């Protein structure tokens, strides 16, 4: 497995791959790899001759310096995980390589970036679209794989790739969960034991909403009230948002659901002292019962 540090070297490797008719899949990550990331590697492997993983903690998508500083960095473990998963190349640039002195150009995300995570994290998705653009231009992959847990991010990237005519297929990989249902996330490493136990309320809230829709419930406020009650069972969980959205436009869902609907959650897990400044923010989502709407005669 090769480790590449510069854009130029990665571009040269990609040019050689393309000239030989071989396909490349890129899995962009910020490291602290877990089984969810490795499932994306497997998705890439099914679609390409080589799978490349980028590991770069992107400073421009963090709103708080403290959050950037606290983000877990597990370089040696990440390399070992990539090696074991059969990754062909790891791209691990420095900040100065991706943002050289004087860098002054960004890629501005559009309407899909404004609700949900975007409403509380101004500029976050501009940081995402900028770094993903840079990674795509450096790696020139045929396929790029992103996790569906970050549903809004995936939607924003797909829109950007379409709007800017990137020659790449964007694939969404299914969310991988712990046995108790908690979605795998690098941020889970920051949870203490009690917060980790309480974090399962996100998955339980999604499941409760899904069960309600499958049983015939269609009133949006009734479903959201059920979600809020489930999350409030965890004393250290603070709801950032719990919203029902159209899965394509991310516009608010109607008062009475009329078709498959995205339930998106963001929850802060506070430390034992209750200081929200040090809380760990987790996100999750569920597409509510598409089959229920298909079978619903109403």
Length of the chain in residues, anyone?
A: 298
Closest CA to 98 of 4, 177, 15: 4
| CA atoms within 13 A of residue 285's CA, in its CB half-sphere | 24
Q: What is the largest CA-CA distance in the chain?
A: 60
Could you write out the DSSP letters of every residue in 211-268?
Answer: HHHHTT--BHHHHHHHHHHHHTTSTTEEEEEEEEE-TTT-PBPPSB--S-EEEEEEEE
| CA atoms within 13 A of residue 132's CA, in its CB half-sphere | 30
CB atoms inside a 10 Å sphere around CB 52: 30
Structure tokens at 160: 């950007």
| Phi, psi angles (nearest 5°) of residue 174 | -60, 150
Q: What's the CA gap between 177 and 44, in Å, rounded?
A: 19
Q: What's the CA gap between 18 and 13, in Å, rounded?
A: 9
Sign of CA dihedral 251, 256, 261, 264: positive
Tell me the three state secondary structure of residue 264. Answer: strand
**Whether residue 37 lies in the annotated active site:** yes
Question: Cα Rg for the chain, rounded, in angstroms?
Answer: 20
DSSP 8-state code for residue 185: -
Catalytic residue among 34, 37, 124, 142: 37
Ranges assigned E (strand) in 2-42: 2-4, 24-29
> Catalytic residues, which ones?
37
């Amino acid at each position: 497995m090769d480790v590449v540090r510069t854009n130029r070297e990665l571009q040269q490797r990609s040019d050689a791959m393309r000239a030989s008719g071989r396909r490349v899949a890129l899995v962009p990550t910020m490291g602290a790899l877990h089984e969810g990331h490795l499932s994306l590697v497997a998705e890439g492997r099914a679609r390409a001759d080589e799978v490349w993983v980028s590991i770069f903690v992107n400073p421009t998508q963090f709103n708080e310096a403290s959050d950037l500083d606290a983000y877990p960095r597990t370089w040696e473990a990440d390399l070992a995980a990539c090696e074991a998963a059969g990754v062909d190349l790891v791209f691990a640039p420095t900040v100065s390589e991706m943002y050289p002195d004087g860098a002054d150009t960004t890629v501005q995300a559009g309407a899909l970036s404004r609700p949900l995570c975007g409403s509380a994290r101004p500029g976050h998705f501009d940081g995402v679209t900028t770094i993903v653009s840079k990674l795509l231009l450096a790696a020139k992959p045929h396929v790029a794989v992103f996790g569906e847990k970050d549903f809004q991010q995936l939607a924003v990237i797909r829109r950007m790739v379409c709007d800017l005519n990137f020659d790449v297929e964007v694939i969404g990989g299914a969310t991988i969960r712990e046995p108790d249902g908690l979605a795998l996330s690098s941020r889970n490493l920051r949870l203490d034991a009690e917060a980790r136990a309480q974090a399962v309320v996100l998955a339980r809230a999604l499941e409760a909403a899904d069960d309600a829709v499958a049983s015939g419930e269609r009133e949006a406020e009734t479903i959201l009230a059920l979600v809020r009650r489930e999350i409030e069972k965890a004393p250290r969980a603070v709801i950032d948002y719990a919203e029902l959205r159209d899965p394509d436009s991310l516009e608010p869902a109607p008062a009475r659901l009329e078709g498959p609907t995205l339930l998106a959650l963001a929850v802060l897990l506070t430390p034992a002292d209750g200081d929200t400044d040090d809380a760990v923010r987790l996100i999750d989502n569920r597409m509510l019962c598409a089959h229920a709407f298909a079978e619903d005669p109403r």
